[in-house]
Amino acid sequence: MIHELPEMWDRTRVFRDRRHGGEVLARMLAGNLSPGSRILAVPAGGVPVAAPIAKALGLSLDVAVVSKVTPSWNTEVGYGAVAFDGRVRIDEPTRSAFGIDEADERIDLEGARAKVRRRVVSLRRGRGPLVPNGGTAVLVDDGLASGITMETAVEAIRDAGADRIVVAVPTGHERSVLRIAAIVDEVFCANVRTGRAFAVADAYRTWVDLDDAGVGEILERARVEGSFQE
């Protein structure tokens, strides 16, 4: 099932920033999640979206570390993803379209794996299971472009024991929203957009790149407020 906001259909610049996107999602999710559901942010961009959701709904927050596999010449586009459990997905048509050979793919993959390992250590710090067996996981990111990162996250979280998976993103391309809706229980996407060109950043009036330090600060504030899962 897909939940969207008709008034935001196919529009750009509808959110002030990622936090505002999370606040909108929190209102959409209110009353639709079971007690004990776990909010799982995909870092980096998903963390400032997920933090206000967890706070508003009184749910625990954690991070599901998944990274795009990107070509060395453009870190904004991805042709695959690596998850916290080591699984890898490669979109072969996209890889071929980028002209990436096997040698370059190995380099790109190692870079993504290194980022995932670093973030698991720095952001999770040995915390327990991401989701209790049979529990509900709410995967949050700042948007769905191709959807391959979220698809990889869904597979990893399902194998980690989640019985029900909900995806919540402020914005997404219609094609990717439909793709993810086919493999999870529900998708909440306030701003669904169409068209050949799609950039997650176009949904936000203020867009900044986040590094691990910035993500850590958001998670520390959530810990102080009592939502970040210990």
Q: What is the pLDDT along the chain (230 residues), one digit of tens a residue?
A: 999 999 999 999 999 999 999 999 999 999 999 888 999 999 999 999 999 999 999 999 999 999 999 888 887 778 899 999 999 999 899 888 888 888 999 999 999 999 999 999 999 877 888 888 888 999 999 999 999 999 999 999 999 999 999 999 999 999 999 999 999 999 999 999 999 889 999 999 999 989 889 999 999 888 877 666 55
Q: For residue 173, is it within any domain?
A: yes
Q: For residue 170, is it within any domain?
A: yes
Would you state the structure tokens that stand for residue 186, as one six-digit string? 């529900």
C-alpha separations of 49 from 59, 120, 171 in Å: 14, 19, 11
Q: For residue 103, is it within any domain?
A: no
Domain that holds residue 171: 2-66+134-225
| Domains held by the chain: number | 1
pLDDT value of residue 230: 52
Q: For residue 88, is it within any domain?
A: no
Q: For residue 220, is it within any domain?
A: yes
Peptide bond into 145 cis (omega under 30): no
Q: For residue 145, is it within any domain?
A: yes
Predicted TM-score (pTM) above 0.85: yes
Q: For residue 189, is it within any domain?
A: yes
Report the CATH number at residue 148.
3.40.50.2020
Q: For residue 129, is it within any domain?
A: no
In 3-state terms, what secondary structure has residue 117? Answer: helix
